Structure 1
Amino acid sequence: MQSDKEVDARNLNCPLPILRCKKALNELAAGQVLKIMATDPGSKKDFDAFCRQTGHTLLELQETDGVFTFWIAKRST
């Protein structure tokens, strides 16, 4: 999947992956896609909750060798 920005949050524990995600989304325009990679096992729940609470769209989640890769579309304002 194509992304407009990429953030590497591997080896960071909660809440740092979410904070990095939030900062990166603030730099994107509505509809653009952020790709973020994390290794914290709790990140699956965290990013799902983050998207539901903020209105962003979790487009896809892939897990490969303990790395969770999320594609998140920034909400329209």
Structure 2
Amino acid sequence: MTNEINPTQSLDCIGFFCPEPLFQTRQEIDGLEIGDVLEVLADDPAAEEDIARFCKRTGHQLLELEKIGKEFRFLIKKTK
């Protein structure tokens, strides 16, 4: 990663399975200010598609999706 993005908030969903990572992500985003960045860590294979689809549907910006072994790291910018 060349540009270091410092998340405003971090959410650890390791060990949780669908739909829990998505529910927790939505709840956490709702509590942030516009422009804040949420880091989400998850190991549920469904989270990759679920969270990407959530960002597309809600208009929040998926800044980064990184896969490290079986874990995912998402950086989501709240846009509205």
**Shorter-normalised TM range:** over 0.9
Q: Structure 2: which 5+ residue stretches go unaligned?
A: none
CA distance in 2, matches of 1:64, 1:42: 15
Alignment of 1:34-53 (within 5 A): 34-53=38-57
Percent of aligned positions that are identical: 33
SS in structure 1 at match of 2:45? coil
* Unmatched tracts of structure 1, length 5 or more: none
The normalised TM-score by structure 1 is 0.94
Per the TM alignment, residue 65 of structure 1 is displaced from its structure 2 partner at its CA by 1.7
Is 2:31 aligned against 1:12?
no
Q: Which runs of 4+ in 1 moved over 3 A?
A: none
Structure 2 length-normalised TM: 0.91
Residues 1:70 and 2:74 are matched in the alignment: yes
1:33 alignment counterpart:
37
Counting matched residue pairs gives: 76
**For the residues of structure 2 that align with 1:53 and 1:31, how far apart are their CA atoms?**
17
